[in-house]
Structure 1
């Protein structure tokens, strides 16, 4: 079961890759400034993940209007995530949880997904400016997308 609402969000620093190179992204850097939306997804270059993240791309202004930064998180390498972002015109950071530490901390790691060990579940968390989990959703069905209306309502 994913970490519960009302709890302090596990802080992390993960790698993101873009044209400038590798960059560290730390969750707590947003504290006091903006909320954070964490979207865990199983694997880059899969149809459901592409649909989810392209949908976020197309509604990114909604999240910015709610003073929230959006991050996609998977166990893919930052290099494959960069290729995935470029192929789909994603303009928000994709963070590599290659070592599976953050997916484990948030309790959203499949032990086995169709023969793949240690893949992130499809999950969504909203973290307040104070670092509190104010929305949590995780699915054992990798085809089930998060409830984006509920995510936006948590940010309002």
Structure 2
């Protein structure tokens, strides 16, 4: 069961592409867009994260920090970030495998990957937007933008 609007966002501490730990607790005080995606380098995921990169000002101008999470190891995330020029942290939910995705209700047990879950967490840690798309179902980012605008 995925999180819903009004739920408290589960805490996480995950290594980024540079093996630096990023936690939801350290993001507290500012809203965060938490974007789960299945795999680095896959077609739909690359398109979604590149769109997020290209439209990042929509979020940062509103004071929203962006983090993207997959079950890929940090080495894959580093290569993916460098190749695509992604300016936000890519967090590895590799071990324990998918534990954070499970906590957010977006882990696909059979495939061992995160679903396309998107959560806007406010400065106090409460989910203000939640959307889950299945593998192969690309996200429309207009909903995220509307939720960010509603925070202001």
TM bracket, shorter-chain basis: over 0.9
Correspondence for 2:22 among 5, 25, 28: 25
CA distance in 1, matches of 2:78, 2:68: 12
Q: Which residue of 2 aligns with 1:83?
A: 79
CA contact (8 A) 1:110 1:119 kept: yes
CA distance in 2, matches of 1:96, 1:8: 21
Point out 4+ residue stretches in structure 1 off by more than 6 angstroms.
Answer: none
CA contact (8 A) 1:38 1:124 kept: yes
TM-score (norm 1): 0.90
Structure 2: gaps of 5 or more residues = none
Q: How many residues align?
A: 147
Is 1:135 the equivalent of 2:129?
Answer: yes
Q: Secondary structure at the match of 1:73?
A: strand
CA contact (8 A) 1:123 1:146 kept: no
Is 1:56 the equivalent of 2:52?
Answer: yes
The structure with the largest strand share of the pair is 1
Q: CA RMSD in A?
A: 1.0
